[in-house]
Chains A and B, each alone.
Chain A
Amino acid sequence: MNNISIFIQKEFLHVFRDRKTLLMLFGLPIVQIILFGFALTNEIKNAKIVVCDYAKDAASQQIIEKLKASQQFEIQNILLNHKQIEATFKEGKIKMAVVFPANFNNDLLHQNKTQVQLITDASDPNTATTISGYASQIIMDYRNELMQLQDLPYQIDTEMRMIYNPELKAAVNFVPGVMSLILLLVCVLMTSVAIVKEKEMGTMEILLVSPFNPFLVIVSKAVPYLALSLINLTIILLLSVFVLGMPINGSVLLLYAVSTLFIMTALSLGLLISNSTASQQAAMLISLMGMLVPSILFTGFMFPLENMPYPLQLVSHIIPAKWYYIIVKSIMVKGLGFSAIWKETLVLFGMTLLLLVVNIKKFKIRLT
């Protein structure tokens, strides 16, 4: 045990003596959080919505048909009451709910005035505003068609309701995104480089010719980066709460617990990379191109996954950051508990386990 502790001490010394990297590690999340995520508008296609139709009359049916026919929407379900809407939102499968009040057609024909309610999940504010805009447009089109048939001042008010993030703060979208990227960067990149450095400098050669268990070399390497990542996580959370005014709605403890799991996933990925490369440049390149870029693309915080072609959506399933992003959003923004995120957590857990098994199998007790 004594020699593991000196090994970990040594790793901390490496980290603290490399001032530039250290500065980058802590500077990066701060800069990213402050600069990131403003005004990213994206075109929406096939957003999943539900309809809650209390009216069930000709007018509501016609609007539903129009929504169905549009490229932008894909109607998942016709629901019967409000309670179900909330439940479907929590599952995270839909972006918007359209609610027709009872007597929709009657009001329209007799009072010439009625209203439709659009409820959107604003934890992704860009998508929320865009799709509610599309929906209002379609409803207005319907009204205009009616007015061409009969010259009456029909009026359909669309009432917008945002849930989860009524103030439309963009922060709720990019803070979880930045969290997953920073943790990936620190854990995958820094760990793989740190281990490959031992190989490149030749110190691995000496460590192998010693009684020290080679696998512990790697465990000891991971410890400082686990610690650094948790510090980084804390910095990001503090910034988002006190600078961006974005509260943590769910359990902070749960957030740290799943983050630790995600850090482990990333560390095992870093290990895998360091196992398969021989130079620091190669490790860096694979970490950046093979890990960071796909994570930016497929996590869903920059480019909505719903808009991607199906094969790419399948690709996104193997990106750990995607699952972590969903979890963080559920906890931080929606304030949900473990019961809501257990599936995603299980996926991350499974990935970590798989990666660790592969690592142990691939681990080399000799030079190649």
Chain B
Amino acid sequence: MKNVVLNNISKTYDNGMVQAVSDVSFHVNQGELFGLIGPDGAGKTSIFRILTTLLLPDGGSASVNGLDVVENYKTIRKNVGYMPGKFSLYQDLTVQENLNFFATIFNTSVKENYDLIKDIYVQLEPFKDRRAGKLSGGMKQKLALCCALIHRPTVLFLDEPTTGVDVVSRKEFWDMLKRLKQQGITILVSTPYMDEATLCERIALIQTGSIMSIDTPENIITQFPENLFAVRSDNMGNLLHDLKKAKIIKSCNAFGAYHHVTFRDVSPEVKEKLIRVLEEKKHTNIELKPVTPTIEDCFIYLMEK
């Protein structure tokens, strides 16, 4: 069953001057962990707000649990969990007060659904009398997740839940999502971090309001059509500059300790050719090796296509 369906959704702002989402279609199956991957301003939040009935789309239709997001907004609001991108709990209320408040608003109690949030809440428990505004970034996200889960939603919408959170907390957060998935909750999550894409079952890569690709992360990586190489030398700044000027290079992007490049020419000698070119430019300790593409490479490739 498809829990979330979008058909040709479009959204503009400022009387049509800004196209935030254009012709977006995808679906999320029941119990799936689906990721919407794209940089800031790609239209992720607009899509989340349309699905959570907060915004009306300009064109297209969307449904959650088979209910239309425009017509049946009241029923949808009862059954979904939503965690907005910005920390949106009451900063002047304590952890426990926030949780109790949201439980009551959703006509339930913390006790009733405690088993669902137990794993997360045990970490928050030592701080239960602390005001939400005084929590660390990771703790805030955990509290927000608890509040979004407290009414046992069928679909969970998490808009950039890991933005601004440290690496350890991010990892913990994704582990929690996997456990929630096992409980049968459908999860739609967005993130600007490409490395998190592989943690989803299926992903949609989105850029300037349009979907570039929808598939499992593995398939997206296998579909990368070029041979990718990683290059490094002692002077990485000049290296990037020189690579971009080299005629045999098709694409070149900085990628951590290496620069990722693809060649125009697929012949085996091309590697030696590049090293010669770089040596002429006085580069030392040149290293060149083939690498498996990451989602980020795929994203950049699709973006430049």
Q: Give A residues with C-beta under 8 Å from B.
A: 2-3, 6-7, 10, 13-14, 17-18, 201-203, 205-212, 365-367
Contacts of B78 in A (CB 8 A): 210-211
| Nearest B-chain residue to A204, judged by Cβ | B88
- Cβ of B93 and Cβ of A10 under 8 Å apart? yes
What is the number of contacts between chain A and chain B, taking CB atoms within 8 Å?
76
Q: How far is the CB of A198 from chain B (nearest CB, A)?
A: 9
- Cβ of B101 and Cβ of A210 under 8 Å apart? no
Cross-interface CB contact of A211 among B82, B90, B93, B107, cutoff 8 Å: B107
| Nearest A-chain residue to B70, judged by Cβ | A366
- Cβ of B105 and Cβ of A203 under 8 Å apart? no
Cross-interface CB contact of B90 among A10, A208, A209, A367, cutoff 8 Å: A10
How many residues does chain B have at the interface if contact means C-beta atoms less than 8 Å apart? 31
Q: How far is the CB of B71 from chain A (nearest CB, A)?
A: 13
The 5 A-B residue pairs whose C-beta atoms are closest, nearest first, are A202-B88, A6-B104, A209-B82, A211-B78, A202-B86
Cross-interface CB contact of B77 among A6, A201, A211, cutoff 8 Å: A211
Given A18-B92, A206-B102, output 15 extra A-B contacts at Cβ < 8 Å.
A3-B104, A6-B100, A7-B101, A10-B101, A202-B84, A203-B90, A205-B82, A206-B84, A206-B148, A208-B54, A208-B77, A209-B80, A210-B105, A210-B106, A367-B54
Q: Which of A2, A205, A206, A209 has the most CB of B within 10 A?
A: A209
Contacts of A18 in B (CB 8 A): 92
Contacts of B106 in A (CB 8 A): 210-211
Query: B56 within 8 Å of A by Cβ?
Result: yes
Q: Give B residues with C-beta under 8 Å from A.
A: 49, 52-56, 73-74, 77-78, 80, 82, 84, 86-93, 97, 100-102, 104-107, 147-148
Contacts of B102 in A (CB 8 A): 206, 210
22 A–B contacts from the bound complex (CB under 8 Å): A3-B104, A6-B101, A13-B92, A14-B92, A201-B88, A201-B90, A205-B54, A205-B84, A205-B88, A206-B89, A206-B148, A208-B53, A208-B54, A209-B52, A209-B53, A209-B80, A210-B102, A211-B105, A211-B107, A366-B55, A366-B56, A366-B73
Q: How far is the CB of A3 from chain B (nearest CB, A)?
A: 5
Whole-angstrom CA separation of A203 from B133 in the bound complex: 13
- Cβ of A3 and Cβ of B107 under 8 Å apart? yes
Q: How far is the CB of B58 from chain A (nearest CB, A)?
A: 13
Contacts of A7 in B (CB 8 A): 101, 105
Whole-angstrom CA separation of A209 from B82 in the bound complex: 7
Q: How far is the CB of B99 from chain A (nearest CB, A)?
A: 12
Contacts of A365 in B (CB 8 A): 73
Contacts of A206 in B (CB 8 A): 82, 84, 88-89, 102, 147-148
Whole-angstrom CA separation of A3 from B104 in the bound complex: 5
Q: How far is the CB of B156 from chain A (nearest CB, A)?
A: 11
Whole-angstrom CA separation of A203 from B90 in the bound complex: 7
Q: How far is the CB of A38 from chain B (nearest CB, A)?
A: 39
Whole-angstrom CA separation of A128 from B287 in the bound complex: 97
| Nearest A-chain residue to B81, judged by Cβ | A209
Q: How far is the CB of B142 from chain A (nearest CB, A)?
A: 16
- Cβ of B88 and Cβ of A10 under 8 Å apart? no
- Cβ of A367 and Cβ of B97 under 8 Å apart? no
Whole-angstrom CA separation of A18 from B52 in the bound complex: 32
Q: How far is the CB of B195 from chain A (nearest CB, A)?
A: 26
Contacts of A210 in B (CB 8 A): 77-78, 102, 105-106
Cross-interface CB contact of A366 among B53, B80, B105, cutoff 8 Å: B53
Whole-angstrom CA separation of A33 from B184 in the bound complex: 63
- Cβ of A203 and Cβ of B89 under 8 Å apart? yes
- Cβ of B86 and Cβ of A212 under 8 Å apart? no
| Nearest A-chain residue to B131, judged by Cβ | A17
